[in-house]
Amino acid sequence: MAERRALVTGSNRGTGRAIRERLTADGFAVRCLNRTSCADHRDPVTADLGDGQAAFEAARTVLADVPALDLLVLNAVTRGLGRVDELDPQVWDEALAVNLTANVRVVQAALPALREAGGHIVLMGSHAGDRPFEGGMAYCATKAALKSVAEVLLMEERPNGVRTTLLNPGAIRNFDDDFSELKMSVESVASVVSWVVAAPADTVLGEVELRPARLGTPPAVGFERLQHV
């Protein structure tokens, strides 16, 4: 059986690292594309994912010797917060660049190899895309826009044998010092990515919502409320 190959962005910590580790355990040869190199993984190419052209060129470099790519997981994200009347323009610009433009540019770089393999694109969305919260304009808007990106990719690339899935998780224990029982573990989210990719070849999971199994009493406003839906 031919070796399966994957590229994961934002894979040096948290959910991205767990996805990388799970895919490796599943038998994928995983390559990474991050702003900083993974400490525990051969990761010779890094790129500022806030620069669309740099992201495109770095993805092409990473995949230069990969004629067929089975899986692309777009996990890199920035979550700058701020109410509209105080939102730093740089926070808005970075959110658009990292959460949207970089994803599109990496897809453009990877499409020839994805088509060759009949591969799968997984875009990591968020509950915030459907459930906006106060102070989250930049994050919520870019996550909402990912749904359109995913739907267009699904329609355009399905005839080329490429499947696209938008995975929308709720609250995740994304940091090593977060032990909340009301959030999902990064390993659980990674296992869902593995499950999505293993779907039968004649199916595609277009959009998947993933919620924590346990919920507390939601705060009245803001980002903390989003973590309890």
Q: What is the pLDDT of residues 55-66, one digit of tens each?
A: 999 999 999 999
Cβ pair 140, 125 in contact under 8 A: no
What total of structural domains would you count in the chain?
1
Confidence of residue 109 (pLDDT cuts 50, 70, 90): very high
**Longest CA span, the chain:** 56
Q: Three-class SS of residue 187? A: helix
pLDDT (0 to 100) of residue 47: 84
Q: What percent of the chain has pLDDT over 70?
A: 91
We report the CATH number of the domain holding residue 66 as 3.40.50.720
Structure token digits, residue 27: 């038998």
Indicate if the pLDDT at residue 219 is higher than 80.
no
Q: Three-class SS of residue 164? A: strand
**Buried b vs exposed e over 78-114: b needs ≥16 C-beta within 10 Å?**
bbbbeeeeebeeebbebbbbbbbbbbbbbbebbbebb
Structure token digits, residue 36: 């900083």
**Lowest-pLDDT choice from 12-26, 161-175, 213-227:** 213-227
Which residues form the domain of 170?
A: 4-226
Confidence of residue 161 (pLDDT cuts 50, 70, 90): very high
Distance CA 77, CA 104 (A): 13
Q: How many residues does the chain have?
A: 229
pLDDT, one tens digit per residue, over 111-129 is 999 999 999 999 999 988 9
User: What would the mean pLDDT of 148-155 be, rounded to a whole number?
Assistant: 96
Distance CA 208, CA 229 (A): 15
pLDDT, one tens digit per residue, over 23-38 is 999 999 999 998 877 7
Confidence of residue 80 (pLDDT cuts 50, 70, 90): confident
Indicate if the pLDDT at residue 163 is higher than 80.
yes
User: What would the mean pLDDT of 145-158 be, rounded to a whole number?
Assistant: 96
DSSP-assigned states of every residue in 42-83: ----B--TTSHHHHHHHHHHHTTT-S--SEEEE-------B-
Within 8 A by CB and 6+ apart from 184, the residues are: 169, 170, 171, 172, 173, 210, 212, 213
Distance CA 87, CA 177 (A): 28
